[in-house]
Chains A and B, each alone.
Chain A
């Protein structure tokens, strides 16, 4: 039983690296790569073979990160989410992570399904989905910066 918090933390960090790592891959690498690949007609290699696999690990890693984080908070879960004294920093990190998770499952993934042709969509719907998925992914990249700061700050940055 004494090992459980450590194991939750281990899973939280591993899954978090995969989630945020893939988020940064999408934003820092794939968006620009697809643009270049479209110019020489090779974008299908990314959109058909890379993106679906990356999205699979991305969305499930997001959920695993959140669940492991919630387990790690344990009985302090409510204290963190209500910013009780001593839990303000982790509370901000937890809220940012929660918003990011909701963005993944509520906006990015449903719109990516249209873009990748996993659900039927017209060209107009696909274009709209592309824009929403792009901006939500960028918003999550923005939120990841303070989220990681406050996760670290809880124990390592005095305020």
Chain B
């Protein structure tokens, strides 16, 4: 079974191929400054709610 990876090529459909395809589509957010800042804000929001839940318990 083959698949097309966003026009960058084809490969057999197994986990490593899917992962390689995903890596071509999804970039590490830490590669860009905006990605880094947004990741920091998201992490802050997550920790805020975790702390709030913990403090309410």
Contact = CB atoms under 8 A, between A and B. Distances in A.
A58 B29 CA distance: 24
Contact of B51 (A28, A88, A135, A144): A88
Interface size class of A (residues with CB under 8 A): 10 to 19
Contacts, number: 46
Nearest to B52: A159
A149 B28 CA distance: 24
Contacts of B51: 88-89, 92, 150, 159
Contacts of B47: 92, 146, 149-150
Q: Summarize B's interface: helix, strand, loop or mixed.
A: helix
Interface of B: 28, 30, 33, 36-37, 39-41, 43-44, 47-48, 51-52, 54-55
